[in-house]
Amino acid sequence: MTTHSSNHPSVDAHVLARFYINGQWVSPAVPASLGVINPATEQEVAQVARGTAEDVDRAVAAAREAFPGWAACAPAERARVLGKIHTLILERKEELAQALCLEMGAAIGFARAMQVPLAAEHVRVARDLLADYRFQTLEGSTAIEREPIGVCGLITPWNWPLYQITAKVAPAIAAGCTVVLKPSELSPLSALLFAQLVHDAGLPPGVFNLVNGSGHEVGAAMAAHADIDMISITGSNRAGALVAQAAAPTVKRVTQELGGKSPNVLLPDADFAKAVPLGVMSAFRNVGQSCSAPTRMIVPRSRLAEVEALAAATANGIVVGNPQSEDTVLGPIANQAQFERVQSMIEAGIAEGAKRVCGGPGRVPGFDKGFYARPTVFSEVASSMRIAQEEIFGPVLCIIAYDSLDEAVAIANDTVYGLGAHVQGQDIQLARAVASRIRAGQVHLNHPAWDPMAPFGGYKRSGNGREYGVQGFEEYLETKAIVGFGA
Ligand code: NAD
Instruction: Find the catalytic residue in 291, 308, 391, 467.
Output: 291
Cα–Cα distance, 173 to 410 (Å, whole number):
41
Spatial strand order of the sheet with 442-445 comes to: 355-358, 376-379, 396-402, 296-300, 263-266, 420-424, 442-445
Cα–Cα distance, 411 to 44 (Å, whole number):
43
> For residue 4, is pLDDT > 80?
no
The domain defined by 13-258+462-482 carries CATH number 3.40.50.300: no
Share of the chain above pLDDT 90, in %: 97
Give mean pLDDT, residues 375-386. Answer: 98
155 close to ligand 1 (CB < 6 Angstrom): yes
Cα–Cα distance, 46 to 284 (Å, whole number):
28
180 close to ligand 1 (CB < 6 Angstrom): no
163 close to ligand 1 (CB < 6 Angstrom): no
- The per-residue pLDDT for 2 is 34
Cα–Cα distance, 441 to 437 (Å, whole number):
12
Q: What are phi and psi of 410, to 5 degrees?
A: -65, -40
The verdict on whether 291 is a catalytic residue reads yes
Give mean pLDDT, residues 304-312. Answer: 98
Share of the chain above pLDDT 70, in %: 98
Could you say which DSSP state residue 207 is in? S
- The per-residue pLDDT for 11 is 87
Out of 159, 211, 341, mutate this one to test ligand 1's pocket (max ligand atoms within 8 Å of CB): namely 159
129 close to ligand 1 (CB < 6 Angstrom): no
Give mean pLDDT, residues 362-367. Answer: 96
Packing angle, helices 161-175 and 116-132, rounded to 10 = 10
Q: Closest Cα to residue 67, out of 147, 132, 146, 145?
A: 147
The pLDDT mean for the chain works out to 97
Instruction: Find the catalytic residue in 121, 257, 391, 467.
Output: 257
Q: Summarize pLDDT for 99-140 with one digit per residue, the tens.
A: 999 999 999 999 999 999 999 999 999 999 999 999 999 999
The DSSP element (H or E) to which 476 belongs, if any, is: none
- The per-residue pLDDT for 6 is 45
- The per-residue pLDDT for 487 is 81
Give mean pLDDT, residues 141-151. Answer: 98
Cα–Cα distance, 203 to 88 (Å, whole number):
13
Q: Which CATH superfamily is domain 263-445 in?
A: Aldehyde Dehydrogenase; Chain A, domain 2 (3.40.309.10)
Cα–Cα distance, 354 to 378 (Å, whole number):
6
Q: Closest Cα to residue 29, out of 39, 38, 19, 37?
A: 19
Residue nearest ligand 1's atom 9 by CA: 184
How many A from CA of 242 to the centre of ligand 1? 11
pTM of the full structure: 0.97
Q: Closest Cα to residue 223, out of 238, 198, 204, 242?
A: 242
The DSSP element (H or E) to which 154 belongs, if any, is: strand 151-155
Q: Closest Cα to residue 128, out of 74, 194, 83?
A: 83
Residue nearest ligand 1's atom 12 by CA: 215
Q: Closest Cα to residue 371, out of 402, 400, 345, 332?
A: 332
Residues 6 or more apart whose CB falls under 8 angstroms from that of 399 comprise 297, 299, 304, 307, 308, 311, 357, 377, 378, 379, 380, 381
Q: What are phi and psi of 10, to 5 degrees?
A: -85, 20
Out of 155, 156, 286, mutate this one to test ligand 1's pocket (max ligand atoms within 8 Å of CB): namely 155
Give mean pLDDT, residues 48-75. Answer: 98
The verdict on whether 73 is a catalytic residue reads no
259 close to ligand 1 (CB < 6 Angstrom): yes
395 close to ligand 1 (CB < 6 Angstrom): no
Domains 13-258+462-482 and 263-445 alike in fold = no
> For residue 334, is pLDDT > 60?
yes
Nearest atom of ligand 1 to the alpha carbon of 419: 41
Give mean pLDDT, residues 410-416. Answer: 98
Name the residue ranges covered by the structural domains of the chain.
13-258+462-482, 263-445
- The per-residue pLDDT for 9 is 60
CA angle (331 as vertex; 326, 334 as ends), nearest 5? 140
Q: Closest Cα to residue 286, out of 98, 447, 110, 94?
A: 110
Give mean pLDDT, residues 304-317. Answer: 98
Give the confidence band of 10 by pLDDT, cuts at 50, 70, 90.
confident
231 close to ligand 1 (CB < 6 Angstrom): no
Q: Summarize pLDDT for 165-183 with one digit per residue, the tens.
A: 999 999 999 999 999 999 9
Q: Summarize pLDDT for 55-68 with one digit per residue, the tens.
A: 999 999 999 999 99
- The per-residue pLDDT for 8 is 56
> For residue 450, is pLDDT > 70?
yes
